[in-house]
Structure 1
Amino acid sequence: MVGAIIGRQGSTIRQITQQTRARVDVHRKDNVGSLEKAITIYGNPENCTNACKKILEVMQQEANNTNKGEISLKILAHNNLIGRIIGKGGNTIKRIMQETDTKITVSSINDINSFNLERIITAKGTIENMSRAEGQISSKLRQSYENDLQAMAPQTMMFPGLHPMAMMATAGIGYGSRGLYSGQAPYPGMYPAGGSSQSAGGPGGAGGADAQETTFLYIPNNAVGAIIGTKGSHIRNIIRFSGASVKIAPVDETKPQEAQNERRVTIVGSPEAQWKAQYLIFEKMREEGFVAGSDDVRLTVEMMVPSQQVGRIIGKGGQNVRELQRVTGSVIKLPEQGATPVEDETTVHIIGPFFSVQSAQRRIRAMVLQSAVPPQGRQRPPRPQKEPSQSEGTSSEPQQ
């Protein structure tokens, strides 16, 4: 159907765009070899519905020409929103089916994984009725999404310098995996171009491209295979989706094997890339069952801070580090206060579940950035000229 929707030299898709004033993107290069392609439609709700209807009309015409029979409409929706489309005891979906005279089904939860959190809602009926069903489903999805965004707002305070969408994107409340991973917004204007959490650049912003962070994550030896995946497929996905560089250290031949129960993973990338890469590793560990029952995966993350700032992070009599542990729920280990630093940078060990270690990393980075002493050492983000917002829990990017 893709060829028919695009039309000769793009004529059909251009016509749809002009008539409906909605932007239509056909992801024909994604999922090479798969039987289906996704189409993303951007615009106000009414224009999107009109564009969707026109696409269905083209598909129906093509199906008639090739004797393919009836066509159906498939909508991708994030797993977290599906419950509200179905409704209590199936009430919502039944009501939509009755009002639009369509048959609507939802794909199984078994089809989702940490790389694709979307379920497929399939509607069958006449084009007119499928279009009405799409309007109601999209409206319900949008409303549920906006409610979630408001509910998430307080949590964004925990992660200074991170865009709220980046938070939601990887907190399992993210919307539209296609939108999240390829830097395209599920709705226009919701996610800044380029997908960097600090894409403001300019004199006041920490230019996203320069703000590279290096962290080290320790994973159990027996989890290395799962993280790498068959012929390196899983780790390649993590790198592609997060935009971070991810390297697993080889086994140290000089040490006895029983002494090496962990391997070090080096992650280099922007704050947002760090967030995504670490999230995907934690998720994979959880999926592979490296934890008992409903416990969260607890891993050790190491980050480097300028040695002259260690005292500041520890605080008077250790009060800052105690407060950090209380607020974030992670264990934070620093060298003893008063110990003479051997190098320019000191390692901070943070142990805990994903959200706890993320919160601790962000807070420590904010303390380092706030300080009057310019950070030194390798791959340190350049210090913004005046950026109080980093510590106040807001990102330095333009508000939409």
Structure 2
Amino acid sequence: MSETGSISSATQSNPPLKDTTIESTNLDSVDTVASPVPTQGISADTNTDAATTTAPAEEVTIPKVTEANVEHRFLLSLREAAALIGKKGATIKRIREDNDVKIAINASSPLCTDRILQCNGSIENVSKAIVDCLKVIKENVNKPTKPFSFSFLNSLMSKPTTSDFKNVKTDEDLENVQSIRLILSTSMIGAVIGKNGNIIKKLMEDHDVRIVASKRQLPDSFERILEIQGLANEIAECLTVVSHIVLANRVIDPKGERRYVPHAEKHARNNNNTNTKKYTGSVVVPEKYVGTLIGVKGSRINNLRSFTNTEINIVNFKDEATNENKSRFTIVGKYEKNVKTAESMLIRNLEAERVKSKNREARTGGKKSDNQADTNVSKKGDAVNASTPIAVEF
């Protein structure tokens, strides 16, 4: 399997299976977080108004299988994927050879901000390979300073602290805390959680990790994210147990378990197509006022373009009816409101200039009159009452 080998997906469209999650508080309402809960004695998370002791928990048995191979898929950011591939694929090749696994990252897709790491091999070797992957990411990828646009890449739990782990005692240890985003079907998520969350709680207690099961399914699929957070070796040990759970609950014919394939979400794909409709309007201006409306070196018209976020093109023509030279200011914009605003401001300023011109002519004794500005407005009600013209600076 090559470094950029594509990953196939099923295309069934049966309704998703029932989503089994664990109640949580003070965290993102979109996802479900399972927090470590002591099985006996005094609970550190117990509300003071509730009972402070709990009965011994029912013993949880996690299945073990003898099958040799397991296949896991993990969600990666583009930077994580690039680091794992390495120069000319050298890094992922080394991980493959050192751990005797089949490992590949799907080819990148346009407008897509995520990729998938697929790893196949013995349970033990796959876990070791993931430890190597985490080391590469820690050494080569800085922690993100802002959220990813694809929300599933963002951590589903609160920022880790030393109080969240038994083996993380210092801030230096905290720097070594990492996460993996394991992709599992909805039914498999339920198997990992267990009845009343008993399995996922045991996983966290036994392996000193935090685990989040997302409520939302990945786009166009019946798969979700299981985020496991902790030290690399602890994550690997937890993943080993999860592998046994996955194999023990594997569906031979997974109808309806449509797999996730990285691609731009619908809203992202349509980004280039939104607001493709153009609204237009125009104002016809006598030649004598064109220069004033444009401004020195185009300053006024440029300000109008910027203020209304529209395109304004000016075309000179000769009015056959009046034999006068005029200019047509054509306004084009993505939003009707912006086009109307630009039209209104042009008309108001034009009428203000006409009043100023008439006042100057009156002072000089001239009785010249000029034609009213012709306007061609795209929608009814766009015309502006010019009986009391107001100059709007732009």
Structure 2 length-normalised TM = 0.37
Higher relative contact order (CA closer than 8 Å, sequence separation 6+) = 2
Structure 1 length-normalised TM = 0.36
Structure with more strand by fraction: 2
Structure with more helix by fraction: 1
Q: Which has the larger radius of gyration?
A: 2
